[in-house]
Amino acid sequence: MTKISENTTKVHHIRHLTPSTYVLRFDRDQRPFTAGQHVILGIHGQKSAREYSIYSSENDDFFEVLVKAVKPGDVSQKLKELHHGDLLSVEGPMGFFTIEPEIVTQGKVVMIATGTGIAPYHSYVRSYPQLDYKMLHGVRYASEAYDRADYDPSRYVLCTSGENAGNLHGRVTDYLLENEIDTTADYYLCGNVKMIHEAFDILKEKGVNHAKIHAEVYF
Amino acid sequence: MNMSDSERVRTIIETQTGYAWTDNEEEANMLGILACSVRQKAIDKVYSRIQKWNKWKHKKSLLTFISGCILADDMEKFLKLFDIVFRMSELEKLPEMIRQYGVVTPASLFTDLTAMPKNESINTFWKVTPHYSSGFEAFVPIQNGCDKFCTFCAVPYTRGREVSRPSGEILDEIANLVGQGYKSITLLGQNVNSYGHDKKGEEITFPQLLERIGEAGDNSGKEFWVYFTSPHPRDMTDEVIEVISRYKCLGKQIHLPIQSGDEKVLIRMNRKHTLEKYRDIIHTIRRLIPEATIFTDIIVGFTGETEEQFENTRKIMDEFRYNMAYIAQYSQRPGAVSSRWVDDVPTEVKKTRYHKLSNDLRRVSAANNRAMVGKIYRVLVTGHDRKAGYLSALTEGKIVTRFASENHDLIGNFVDLKITSSTDFSVEGEVITKT
């Protein structure tokens, strides 16, 4: 593949997961990347752009992002209408929501996400097969359990608030309240700020040290 | 940052376009603005200023330009209002834009200004030898851009990603300034202590840069102080503090923005550090450099800030005993992530919190200043004081000082003062010796 310019890349394809949510794959162009980082994406030649966590693995030769189309006119909606070969403007990867190497090899991690906040965790799990993890994914309906088959079923807990179709009928914070917490693990929180604040309080209350709580707010 | 940028712009204009500097705005034939996007108010002022200038065009020949931190939306609007719009990284093209103006218009269409900023060409800007506006105080850019994406700030969208200036250039510029007798040198960057991160091992780190400056400075036989601003707590390592403690020429004043004293507000601000991490940094500073003064930045009334969360910020004012804090009432900045959120703290509440926190600051600052009374401090004389017959000075910790003297030759030099009295935000002293 040839880069058009430093900040331009080409779309491979779009894989639709639900009517509004999709995975956009595009050229990586050998950009270095650590699982948990994000890119700033926009349509080539247009000024609006948004940040998206990378969904694919460090070992893939492409990038993927998990996008929920929000409303007409938004970048998320415009990206959904792209086709193979269309040009994207991309900046990055960048960001700090990464896992320390010693935690990857020796630690335990609990990953808590709402909605598309699962994107960086998908990248962790695909990049680090040895990772000792537990995943709490909060969605409204089970149809939003994006690429559930990519996770070890014994490590994955689906919390559905809008129907009784997951491992728990309720929110991820309900799961945290009702279950024993491993205070030796590192906790990763990603998604809407309300969930992050509530989970933060519960974890603190249950004795998890601040330094072991890592958060990435989705805007 | 804008001071340093403007010194370089002035150099380019004076040396390459034939225009000469004037302090009189009304007699100028070329007027320019280096904008700042940190606050919306600053951008609002740009609009009122250019309207005035455009009216003057009916009476005289006048060319206008704008550069600096500008969001894409504002760029588009400025293209219609200013004759020349350029990114700071394109400064080398400015003389050509000026020469071509009227021949090829608009001159600002040399480049796609609404695209995401690319920072690679900032290297050319750094090579410009600036016309320093002071004879004893200079600002040296070492880094540009930001990768942190704090939700209240638009800088990542106006300045682009973090790019570090080659250390050789920085060390040369500082050596030159020291040789000329400069006494206060400030290293500048939006995230000054992330210096070198973008080079991924191919450039020295920030503490290594400080160490080289410290070594060269202490061996130079010259007396001067080197500061840096603004650091991000996430990148503030023990090594940085340890290096500052070791070298005489590295100023014992650290500006460490905290923005909020509440963990949950820090998360919403996307600050990427906990209060615990910040506390550890302060403890290390107090342990290794007990004489250091600590300054900070705080935003009150950030979106969603509750009364309890604000009270947590008040607590840290007492805990960290800041010497100075730059407190701002939160306002939405178009382009920043938080501008997509409802600004739900009423203006009156923001004002009340601002005054409460300012009073807290006044109390701790006054106590810090009282503790200086009776002690001797080396100060750099910076100019005339508002009080007749007095000169202003700054201690190494940047505490504002005044002393009675009619000797204007002291300006730009060091003197020793015995502190005789203090106020909330300054101290007064008597000269002990003169260098």
Same domain, yes or no: A164 and A78? no
DSSP conformation class of B115: S
Mean pLDDT for the stretch of residues B403-432: 96
The angle, 0 to 180 degrees and rounded to 10, between the axes of the packed helices B275-288 and B307-320 is: 10
**In the prediction, which pLDDT does B120 show?**
56
CA distance A129 to chain B (A): 26
Give the span between the Cα atoms of A1 and A29, in whole angstroms: 7
pLDDT band at B106 (very low <50, low <70, confident <90, very high): very low
Query: What would the pLDDT profile of B293-325 be if each residue is shown by its tens digit?
Result: 999 999 999 999 999 999 999 999 999 999 999
Phi, psi at A187, each rounded to 5°: -110, 130
In eight-state DSSP terms, residue B410 is G
B75-86 b/e (C-beta count within 10 Å ≥ 16 → b): bebbbebbbbbb
- Please report whether residue A174 resides in a domain: yes
Q: What is the pairing mode between strands B253-255 and A186-191?
A: unpaired
Query: Which one of A67, A94, A121 terminates a domain?
Result: A94
Residue A209: give its domain's CATH number.
3.40.50.80
A194 in the same domain as A109: yes
Task: Please indicate, yes or no, whether residues A29 and A128 belong to a single structural domain of this protein.
Answer: no
Residues A120 and A176 in one domain: yes
Contact status of A200 with chain B (Cβ, < 8 Å): yes
Query: In the block, which residue shows the tokens 């690679």?
Result: B120
Tell me whether residue A13 is in a domain. yes
Rounded Cα distance between A151 and B187, Å, is 48
- Structure confidence at residue B112 (pLDDT): 55
* Contact yes or no for A7 and B149 at CB 8 A: no
CATH T-level assignment (fold) for domain B376-434: OB fold (Dihydrolipoamide Acetyltransferase, E2P) (2.40.50)
Tell me the pairing of strands A38-43 and A87-94: antiparallel
Q: Are A49 and B116 within 8 A, CB to CB? A: yes
Q: Which of A9, A96, A112 to mutate to test the interface with B (most CBs of B within 10 A)?
A: A96
pLDDT band, residue B119 (cuts 50/70/90): low
**How far is Cα B140 from Cα A77, in angstroms, rounded to an integer?**
43
Interface contact B149-A51, CB threshold 8 A: yes
> What is the number of H-type helices and E-type strands within chain B?
13, 16
Distance CA B336, CA B149 (A): 9
More confident residue, A4 or B369: B369
- Element of type H or E holding B358: helix B347-370
Does the beta carbon of A51 lie under 8 angstroms from any beta carbon of chain B? Answer: yes
Task: Tell me: pLDDT of B78 over 90.
Answer: no
What are the extents of the domains in chain B?
2-110, 134-251, 252-371, 376-434
Residue B118 has pLDDT above 80, yes or no: no
How many C-beta neighbours within 10 Å does residue A97 have? Answer: 22
Q: Rounded to the nearest 5°, which phi and psi values hold at A168?
A: -140, 135
Mean pLDDT in residue range B326-348: 88
φ and ψ at residue A15, rounded to 5 degrees = -115, 115
Domain membership of residue A2 (yes or no) is: no
pLDDT of residue B46: 86
Find the chain B residues whose C-beta atoms sit closer than 8 A to any C-beta of A: 72-73, 114-116, 118, 120, 147, 149, 151, 161, 200, 234, 263-264, 267-268, 270, 272, 274-277, 304, 337, 340-341
Put simply, whether A215 touches B (Cβ < 8 Å) is: yes
User: Average of pLDDT values for B334-340?
Assistant: 82
A151 within a domain of the structure (yes/no): yes
What is the C-alpha separation between B167 and B163, in angstroms, rounded?
12
Helix (H) or strand (E) holding A196: helix A193-205
d(Cα A123, Cα A102) in Å, to the nearest integer? 17
Q: Does B267 contact A193 at a Cβ distance shorter than 8 Å?
A: yes
pLDDT bin (cut points 50, 70, 90) of residue B374 is very high
Is A1 within the bounds of a domain? no
Dist CA A67 CA A53 (whole Å): 9
Asked if the model's pLDDT at residue B105 lies above 80, the reply is no
DSSP B413: S
DSSP string, A149-175: GGS-TTTEEEEESSSS-SSEES-HHHH
A73 and A121: one domain? no
Is B268:B308 a contact under the CB 8 Å cutoff? no
| DSSP per position, B125-178 | HHHS----SSSSEEEEE-EE--S---TT--HHHHT-S-EEPPHHHHHHHHHHHH
- The per-residue pLDDT for B113 is 53
Domain residue limits at A67: 8-94
Task: Please tell me which of the candidates A7, A89, A96 has its beta carbon nearest to residue B272.
Answer: A96
State pLDDT tens for residues B238-272.
999 999 999 999 999 999 999 999 999 999 999 98
Q: Taking residues A134-141, what's their average pLDDT?
A: 96
Domain at B2-110: CATH code = 3.40.50
Helix, coil or strand: residue A52? strand
pLDDT of residue B39: 66
B115: pLDDT confidence band, cut at 50, 70 and 90?
low
Identify the DSSP state of B338. G
State whether A125 and A198 are in the same domain. Answer: yes
CB B37 within 8 A of CB B69: yes
pLDDT digits 0-9 by tens, B167-194: 999 999 999 999 999 999 999 998 899 9
Domain check: are A145 and A196 in the same one? yes
| Domain of residue A53, CATH code | 2.40.30.10
Q: What is the pLDDT of residue A4?
A: 45
SS3 content of chain A, % helix, strand, coil (to 5): 25, 35, 40
CB spacing of A6 vs B116 below 8 angstroms:
no
Q: Do domains B134-251 and B252-371 have the same CATH topology?
A: yes
Q: Which helix H or strand E contains B187, and what residues bound it?
A: strand B184-188
Topology of domain B134-251 in CATH is: Transcription Regulator spoIIAA (3.30.750)
Cα end-to-end distance, chain A, whole Å? 33
Integer Cα distance of B398 and B226 in angstroms: 12
Is the preceding omega at residue B106 within 30 degrees of 0, hence cis?
A: yes
Inform me whether the C-beta atom of residue A73 falls under 8 Å from chain B C-beta atoms. Answer: no
| Residue where a domain terminates, one of A65, A94, A123 | A94
Show which of residues 75-114 on chain A sit within 8 Å of chain B, judged by CB atoms: 89, 91-92, 94-96
Comparing B291 with B146, which gets the higher pLDDT? B291
Tokens of B111: 């480049």
Instruction: Please tell me the least confidently modeled range out of A135-139, B80-84, B341-345.
Output: B80-84
Residue A10 three-state SS: strand
> Regarding predicted confidence, which is higher, B67 or A14?
A14
- Asked whether the predicted pLDDT for residue B129 surpasses 80, the reply is no
Number of domains in chain A: 2
Backbone conformation region of residue B319, classed left if phi is above 0, alpha if psi is from -120 to 50, else beta: alpha
Q: Which residues from chain B sit within 8 angstroms of residue A73, using beta carbons?
A: none
How many beta carbons lie within 10 A of that of residue B316, not counting itself?
A: 22
Q: How far is A184 from chain B (nearest CA, A)?
A: 18
Q: Is residue A156 part of a domain?
A: yes
Residue closest to A203 by CA, chosen among B264, B302, B280: B264
Whether this model's ipTM surpasses 0.90 comes out as no
Q: Are residues A148 and A200 in the same domain?
A: yes
A71/B contact by beta carbon, under 8 A: no
Mean per-residue pLDDT, B28-51: 81
Contact A96 B234 (CB under 8 A): yes
DSSP-assigned beta bridge partners for residue A25: A13, A64
Q: Taking CA atoms, what residue in A is nearest to B234?
A: A96
The proportion of chain B whose per-residue pLDDT surpasses 90, expressed as a percent, equals: 57
Residue B107's pLDDT is what?
A: 44
Dist CA B308 CA B313 (whole Å): 9
Q: Roughly what angle, to the nearest 10 degrees, separates helices B307-320 and B347-370?
A: 10
**Cβ B159 vs Cβ B144: under 8 Å:** yes
User: Would the pLDDT of B47 be above 90?
Assistant: no
Write down which residue in A60, A94, A128 finishes a domain: A94
Tell me what percent of the residues of chain A surpass a pLDDT of 70. Answer: 97
Chain B CA closest to residue A212: B274
Chain pair A-B, CB pairs under 8 angstroms: 53
CATH number of the domain located at residue range(s) B252-371 in this protein:
3.30.750.200
Distance between A39 CA and the closest CA of chain B, angstroms:
11
Burial class of A128 by CB neighbour count within 10 A (0 to 12, 13 to 18, 19+): buried
| pLDDT of B182 | 96
Same domain, A120 and A87: no
Q: Residues A78, A131: one domain?
A: no
- Report the pLDDT value the prediction gives residue B338, as an integer from 0 to 100: 87
Write the pLDDT tens digit of every residue in B17-29: 778 888 888 888 8
Q: Are both A150 and A65 inside the same structural domain? A: no
Residue A180 lies in a domain: yes
Closest Cβ–Cβ partner in B272, B276, B304 for A211? B276
User: For residues A114 and B316, what is the distance between their CA atoms, to the nearest angstrom?
Assistant: 32
Give the sheet arrangement for strand A108-114, strand by strand: A168-169, A156-160, A132-139, A108-114, A186-191, A213-217
A62 CB near a chain B CB, below 8 Å? no
> Are A75 and A105 in the same domain?
no
Tell whether A212 lies on the interface with B, counting CB pairs under 8 A. Answer: no
Please choose, from the candidates B390, B398, B386, the residue with its C-alpha nearest in 3D space to the C-alpha of residue B428. B390
3-state secondary structure of B231: coil
* Chain B contact probe: residue of A193, A198, A204, A218 with most B CBs at under 10 A: A193
CA atoms of B249 and B393, how far apart (whole Å): 18
More confident residue, A24 or A74: A24
Please indicate, yes or no, if residue A3 is contained in any of the structural domains. no
What is the C-alpha separation between B354 and B45, in angstroms, rounded?
23
Given a contact cutoff of 8 angstroms between Cβ atoms, the answer to whether B108 and B84 are in contact is yes
